[in-house]
Amino acid sequence: MVIVIMDGAADRGVRALNNATPLHHARHENIDGICTLGMCGLMYTIAPGVAPGSDTAHLAILGYNPYENYCGRGPYEALGAGFDLKPGDIAFRANLATIERGKIVDRRAGRISTEEARELLKDHKTVEIDGVEFIIEHTVEHRAVVVIRDHGLCSAISDTDPHRVGVPPNRAIPFVGTKDCERTALLVNKYTAYMMDALRRSPINRERKKRGLPPANAVLLRGAGAYKPVASIKEVFGIRGACISGVALVRGVARALGMRIFMHERITGGKDTDVGFKAELAVKLLENNYDLVLLNIKMTDIYGHDGDFRGKVEAIERIDREIAPLLNHVMDYEHVLALTSDHATPVSVREHTADPVPLLVYAPSCRTDTVKHYSEVSVASGALGVLRGTDLIRVLLDQAGIGEKFGE
């Protein structure tokens, strides 16, 4: 089985273009070819009216109820960055930022290079605050994850990242009145102060200032979450899973479920990602007896956030061209395929919305419906009807002939 996620590709369409959505507008003959043989439907990845994050949506699509299993963004970012979390670890997504006279002037420290950021954080990888270990793991450019490891910590604290410039970093505030929660917030605030002091004195930052570049002199934290292990996809569904994604958050979700992660420098999670390479890799993994390959393509979401209709159309057309070998392999070797999105990111909204996403399921012996063009509106008359995200994996297992039977 392979699940191809065109991240945020679903849209609402644009009035000026006769309500066409990028999926409707784009030419995607290869997708339409398998669509003609397959069956379609609409999917509410979480629930009608609930706009999904990429993390909760991927959890749901992989068969895990996000309301029961989601543990916050931080842990998935950390897992996706390759960090080995232990149960109870508190993890954050972290940004290197620039502060001037106490106020944030750049939340990304001038998109500091990966090399410089790595060098900058080298001596501060592990910091002890009041006897508690803080670990910072750098990923790409200004991005990092921070993990606190101690007994009895609580993740119910606010972000130190104010998500805007012109203000100082927020103080972490405990959301509940327990001693553990108050202690965690206090530790985070002390860590923030410690890192500002340590980074201010770094030779790298002195060097950057000389070159007229904004110093990376603060670490902003967001998305606190306590890592809670869940039963693996192997334990729950009996399948070996693999994930291909350039997005740490998506890789983290897959890793949390015990799926194997495949990374490569050509898989960037950006507009420059090599879709053809990813499709080729998916074919190899299917040939290497992975039962389920999750292939996430992020760029459609980025164009949605940019409000770039044309860019989104072209991204869809490029995906259609470059995944053609994967679609052909699925048909030739009798695999099961799902093509969908994790959520809509309409160009008119530039944010995730709760609109249902189109879903196409192909299996060699599947019920073929009358939908011949893959788009948000056309799939509504498909043979699958309306599903929730958590239904998908069971539908695919059933199509693969390894599903659950209840009763006689």
Rounded to whole angstroms, the Cα distance separating 181 from 170 reads 16
- Binding flags for its own copies, 220-259, as an x/- string (CB under 8 A): ---x-------------------------x----------
Q: Three-state DSSP class for 356? A: coil
Member of 80, 189, 356, 374 binding its own copies (CB under 8 A) = 356
Rounded to whole angstroms, the Cα distance separating 380 from 131 reads 57
The secondary structure of residue 123, as a DSSP letter, is: G
Contact call for residue 55 and its own copies (CB under 8 A)? yes
- The continuous run of DSSP H or E covering 234 comes out as helix 233-237
41 versus 215: smaller Cβ distance to its own copies? 41
- Cα 42 to Cα 263, 355, 382, distances in angstroms: 31, 10, 8
Token reading at 82: 């390759």
Contact range with its own copies by CB under 8 A, out of 10-18, 195-203, 301-309, 331-339: 10-18
Member of 186, 213, 263, 383 binding its own copies (CB under 8 A) = 383
As measured in angstroms, the least distance from the Cβ of 203 to its own copies is 34
Within 10 angstroms of residue 311's Cβ, the number of other Cβ atoms is: 18
- 291-310 residues in contact with its own copies (CB under 8 A) are none
- Cα 51 to Cα 24, 56, 99, 226, distances in angstroms: 21, 10, 33, 23
The secondary structure of residue 111, as a DSSP letter, is: G
Contact call for residue 139 and its own copies (CB under 8 A)? no
Query: How far is residue 15 CA from its own chain's centroid?
Result: 29
Rounded to whole angstroms, the Cα distance separating 98 from 106 reads 5
Contact call for residue 270 and its own copies (CB under 8 A)? no
Contact call for residue 314 and its own copies (CB under 8 A)? no
Q: Three-state DSSP class for 192? A: helix
Member of 16, 49, 68, 164 binding its own copies (CB under 8 A) = 49
DSSP-derived pairing of the beta strands 39-44 and 385-388 = parallel
As measured in angstroms, the least distance from the Cβ of 407 to its own copies is 2
- 77-136 residues in contact with its own copies (CB under 8 A) are none
Contact range with its own copies by CB under 8 A, out of 141-149, 210-218, 322-330, 393-401: 393-401
Rounded to whole angstroms, the Cα distance separating 258 from 358 reads 27
47 versus 213: smaller Cβ distance to its own copies? 47
Rounded to whole angstroms, the Cα distance separating 103 from 217 reads 11
Rounded to whole angstroms, the Cα distance separating 89 from 220 reads 18
Member of 48, 168, 229, 270 binding its own copies (CB under 8 A) = 48
Contact range with its own copies by CB under 8 A, out of 260-268, 302-310, 316-324, 347-355: 347-355
Contact range with its own copies by CB under 8 A, out of 45-53, 135-143, 187-195, 276-284: 45-53
Q: Is the dihedral of CA 369, 375, 379, 381 positive or negative?
A: negative
As measured in angstroms, the least distance from the Cβ of 381 to its own copies is 4
92 versus 99: smaller Cβ distance to its own copies? 92
**Which residues are at the interface with its own copies (CB under 8 A)?**
11-13, 15, 19, 21, 37, 42, 44, 46-57, 66-67, 70, 73, 223, 249, 346, 348-349, 352-356, 364-370, 376-377, 380-388, 391-398, 401, 403-408
